[in-house]
């Protein structure tokens, strides 16, 4: 599949934003952090910027972005519609939770803060789940049609959100910073395991379709392409016929693992062991930045390595 930059940014940025929102809501429910307005402005502001920026960027891949709102009307049958609807509805509990953190002395906001925190967690995870199901539901792309796709999206969202939470709490010098660094470390390890299993499954997956089964000519022997159906590239080839060399994919996987997982594990481990807050902040910031780059590479590979069954009509032998 063609790795569209807008969709890559959407899935990584919004995933991190929703992950950060989950940990902010969890911190409220467990009373892990003091309710300081400046921290709320920065933390919730960052989460909303990532979420909204990602959602807006996803519309750039549409042929008619101005009609994006119509997609939400098909929520009964479309995962894309459910995702859009959940994304819009999630702003209600998340916005009210942010207001409570800014004005904790407001009686009404204090009364509903608990339900709004739970609502923020549920809606954030639900939106990420719906995003993952857009891809996991596609039987025409065997690489995506797996529970591993959903698990990867959820785990990587919580992982990147925990890394941001650890950095922010360390910047403010909160006692809970170490706890969030440990949580981030656990989810990085979990995320690495999920991605390694996903790639192992991809390598060992048996072909479910062949050129013979696609054309109905399998009984007559091996089916090969004599001549391309088109003299020039068309939409199908540009969007669904993207190919990446195996050696390049292997190299990019190593980069994704190194930057997205191993380096953050090392940097967060050092930050947890050290007592110098300034150095801890530098290490966490480096971990967040390098981890973000690694996740972008991982998400680019997620799209680039996926093959659509329609390519069987354009020379692919088996998928």
Residue 29 in domain: yes
Q: What percent of the chain has pLDDT over 90?
A: 63
Q: What percent of the chain has pLDDT over 70?
A: 82
Is 70 exceeded by the pLDDT of residue 314?
Answer: no
State phi, psi for 308 to the nearest 5 degrees.
-90, 140
Longest dimension (CA), the chain: 77
Q: Please report how the helices 5-29 and 147-171 are oriented relative to each other, as an axis angle in degrees rounded to 10.
A: 60
Q: How far apart are CA 88 and CA 302, in angstroms?
A: 26
Supply the pTM of this predicted model: 0.91
Minimum mean pLDDT range among 22-26, 30-34, 221-225: 221-225
What's the pLDDT tens digit per position in 133-188? 999 999 888 889 999 999 999 999 999 999 999 999 999 999 889 999 999 999 99
- Residues of the domain holding 132: 5-314
Which of these, 198, 212, 200, lies nearest to 319 by C-alpha position? 212
Q: Are 240 and 1 in contact (CB under 8 A)?
A: yes
Confidence of residue 221 (pLDDT cuts 50, 70, 90): low
Residue 148 in domain: yes
Q: Are 226 and 260 in contact (CB under 8 A)?
A: no
Residue 319 in domain: no
Mean pLDDT of the chain: 87
Number of domains in the chain: 1
Instruction: Look up the CATH number of the domain holding residue 191.
Output: 1.20.1630.10
Q: Are 89 and 38 in contact (CB under 8 A)?
A: no
Residue 60 in domain: yes
pLDDT in the model for residue 292 = 96
Compute the average pLDDT of residues 2-7. 82
Minimum mean pLDDT range among 27-41, 59-73, 94-108, 116-130: 59-73
What's the half-sphere exposure (Cβ side, CA atoms, 13 Å) at 102?
11
What's the pLDDT tens digit per position in 266-278? 999 999 998 778 9
Q: How far apart are CA 49 and CA 47, in angstroms?
A: 6
Compute the average pLDDT of residues 204-215. 68
What's the half-sphere exposure (Cβ side, CA atoms, 13 Å) at 87?
28
Residue 244 in domain: yes
Q: Which of 163 and 58 is assigned the larger pLDDT?
A: 163
pLDDT in the model for residue 92 = 97
pLDDT in the model for residue 316 = 66
């Amino acid at each position: 599949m063609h790795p569209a930059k807008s969709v890559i940014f959407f899935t990584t940025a919004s995933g991190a934003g929703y992950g950060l929102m989950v940990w902010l809501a969890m911190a409220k429910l467990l009373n892990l952090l003091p309710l300081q307005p400046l921290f709320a402005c920065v933390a919730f502001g960052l989460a909303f910027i990532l979420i909204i920026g990602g959602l807006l960027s996803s519309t750039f891949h549409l042929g008619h972005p101005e009609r994006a709102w119509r997609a939400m009307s098909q929520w009964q049958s479309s995962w894309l519609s459910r995702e859009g609807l959940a994304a819009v509805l999630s702003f209600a509990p998340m916005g009210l939770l942010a207001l409570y953190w800014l004005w904790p002395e407001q009686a009404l906001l204090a009364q509903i803060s608990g339900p709004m925190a739970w609502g923020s967690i549920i809606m954030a995870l639900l939106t990420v789940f719906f995003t993952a199901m857009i891809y996991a539901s596609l039987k025409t792309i065997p690489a995506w049609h797996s529970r591993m796709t959903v698990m990867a999206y959820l785990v990587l969202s919580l992982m990147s959100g925990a890394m941001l939470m650890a950095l922010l709490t360390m910047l403010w010098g909160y006692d809970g910073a170490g706890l969030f660094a440990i949580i981030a470390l656990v989810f990085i390890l979990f995320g690495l395991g999920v991605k390694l299993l996903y790639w192992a499954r991809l390598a060992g997956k048996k072909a479910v379709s062949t050129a013979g089964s696609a054309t109905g000519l399998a009984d007559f022997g091996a089916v090969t392409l004599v001549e391309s159906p088109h003299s020039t590239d068309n939409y199908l080839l540009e969007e669904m016929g993207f190919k990446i060399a195996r050696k390049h994919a292997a190299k990019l996987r190593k980069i994704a693992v190194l930057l997205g997982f191993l380096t953050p594990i090392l940097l967060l481990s050092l930050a947890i062991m050290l007592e110098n807050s300034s150095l801890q902040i530098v290490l966490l910031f480096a971990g967040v930045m390098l981890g973000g780059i690694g996740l972008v590479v991982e998400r680019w590979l997620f799209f680039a390595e996926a093959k659509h069954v329609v390519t069987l009509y354009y020379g692919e032998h088996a998928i």
